[in-house]
Chain A
């Protein structure tokens, strides 16, 4: 089953959906931001509305959401220990990481990698 799209914020509830979205993102050379989140984590709830807003504002970025309880193996493979963790991917490689509800830092990191792709093009 493919993820449920909310604007550009895509929740991946199964491994298949997650792999499909990653593949799609990698093929398109778009910047992917993965939000590793948990329902029981207070700081994740702080970030949720902000992230939804960012996703709407930045259609050129793919935002994926992974619940660390739903996709435990993914969270383990990616060594996610603190929530929320935002992983930045480009062409299948992790290029950056922001841990915690750090709005300013998240915004700046996205800007950094977006401008990087513009100059490369």
Chain B
């Protein structure tokens, strides 16, 4: 492993709010306010687009999605993601929204010593969050879900308030989130995420080319893709498909190559859909090791995920299940390439 390199593993935060008038809600946020918040995290917006349901921002370090009453932000590298919590809560307060749920997840950093406060340890992160979060989020739990692979463990902190349960009585049971972290990407496939020197393209058009060349465009052909290629390498995309987002981030450098994929789905979807998506994700990157974490009310998803990934020549090495009060089950599975 390289002594030091770019930290691909993201930190991910999901904040849900409740309030009286959540029609436009958080989407009203002025760009200056957003920039200030992102400045505290140490990242910037590089590209953005919205549809009738949400706004999507590609960041210099990963992604942000803003729904009327929900924010999903994930950032990689040495960003200080948790520093966005307080300013987001303050902003929400100005438009009459209050926090009803907070979920923080991340994998195992490749270069943990490079992380700044409060990301120096999971314990520190949890203390930081608990100090900020309002007291009414009383269903709380922090957990490190292990795997048989030392490089992969899943860190989860969840806090939920009563208002979330009331507002989301229906959605809560049907929606799930899938977070995939992949390391040791196939070298030839990873090369596709390097730009040619002086390609004369904008970051947007170079990103578009990568989306097509790598097959990322086929993962969900219905999604509108907002893509961005970094110089000299690296790639980010946000997908918008109605009210559902998806996102991919790639750090292709050999020695610490990393790619992540995340999407949301519904238990009422055709069950072949998520299998098809995972199959294509594996084909785009052919990782040596991958972890798949699902957050959902049901257990059933777990075998569907495992089957889809195993059909692509990966072997399931571990499966850990943990229940988070009022938030649902998190299932954390790891896979390695059969060649290993």
Task: Report, as a range, how many residues of chain B touch the other chain.
Answer: 20 to 34
Bound form: Cα–Cα A72–B205 in Å: 29
Cβ-defined contact, A100 with B47, below 8 A: yes
Residue A45 CB within 8 A of the other chain: yes
Bound form: Cα–Cα A83–B49 in Å: 6
**Residues 5 to 55 of chain B near chain A (Cβ within 8 Å):** 24, 27-31, 34, 45, 47-52, 55
Interface residues of A (CB under 8 A from B): 38, 40-46, 81-84, 99-102, 104-105, 108
Task: Output the least CB separation between B171 and chain A (Å).
Answer: 21
Query: Residue among A38, A44, A46 with the most chain B CB within 10 A?
Result: A46
What would be 18 A-B contacts, judged by CB atoms less than 8 Å apart?
A40-B24, A41-B27, A42-B29, A42-B34, A42-B57, A43-B50, A43-B55, A43-B56, A43-B57, A45-B31, A81-B51, A81-B224, A82-B49, A82-B50, A82-B224, A99-B224, A100-B204, A101-B47
- Chain A residues near B56: list those with CB within 8 A: 43
Cβ-defined contact, B30 with A105, below 8 A: no
Beyond contacts A42-B27, A43-B48, A105-B205: 17 other A-B pairs, Cβ-Cβ < 8 A, are A41-B55, A42-B57, A42-B66, A43-B55, A46-B45, A82-B49, A82-B51, A83-B51, A99-B226, A100-B47, A100-B48, A100-B49, A101-B47, A101-B49, A102-B47, A102-B204, A104-B204
Residue B297 CB within 8 A of the other chain: no
Known: A40-B28, A41-B27, A83-B49. A100 touches B202 (CB 8 A): no
Cβ-defined contact, B30 with A104, below 8 A: no
Residue B73 CB within 8 A of the other chain: no
- Chain A residues near B203: list those with CB within 8 A: 104
Task: Output the least CB separation between B56 and chain A (Å).
Answer: 8
Task: Output the least CB separation between B203 and chain A (Å).
Answer: 7
Cβ-defined contact, B48 with A101, below 8 A: yes
Measured CB to CB, the nearest residue on chain B to A107 is: B202
Cβ-defined contact, A41 with B50, below 8 A: yes
Bound form: Cα–Cα A108–B57 in Å: 21
Interface residues of B (CB under 8 A from A): 24, 27-31, 34, 45, 47-52, 55-57, 66, 202-205, 224, 226, 240
Measured CB to CB, the nearest residue on chain B to A105 is: B204
Bound form: Cα–Cα A30–B98 in Å: 50
- Chain A residues near B27: list those with CB within 8 A: 40-42
Known: A82-B224, A82-B240, A100-B226. A38 touches B50 (CB 8 A): yes
Task: Output the least CB separation between B95 and chain A (Å).
Answer: 12
Cβ-defined contact, B50 with A83, below 8 A: yes
Measured CB to CB, the nearest residue on chain B to A85 is: B49
- Chain A residues near B51: list those with CB within 8 A: 81-83
- Chain B residues near A101: list those with CB within 8 A: 47-49
Bound form: Cα–Cα A105–B204 in Å: 7
Known: A82-B51, A101-B49, A108-B202. A42 touches B31 (CB 8 A): yes
Cβ-defined contact, A43 with B49, below 8 A: yes
Measured CB to CB, the nearest residue on chain B to A99 is: B49
Task: Output the least CB separation between A43 and chain B (Å).
Answer: 4
Task: Output the least CB separation between A81 and chain B (Å).
Answer: 6
Bound form: Cα–Cα A99–B227 in Å: 11
Task: Output the least CB separation between A83 and chain B (Å).
Answer: 5
Task: Output the least CB separation between A72 and chain B (Å).
Answer: 11
Task: Output the least CB separation between B217 and chain A (Å).
Answer: 14
- Chain A residues near B34: list those with CB within 8 A: 42
Measured CB to CB, the nearest residue on chain B to A80 is: B51
- Chain B residues near A45: list those with CB within 8 A: 30-31
The one of B29, B66, B202 in contact with A105, judged by C-beta atoms closer than 8 angstroms, is B202
Query: Residue among A40, A43, A45, A105 with the most chain B CB within 10 A?
Result: A43
Task: Output the least CB separation between B105 and chain A (Å).
Answer: 24
Cβ-defined contact, B47 with A42, below 8 A: no
Bound form: Cα–Cα A42–B68 in Å: 11
Measured CB to CB, the nearest residue on chain A to B208 is: A105
Bound form: Cα–Cα A42–B29 in Å: 7
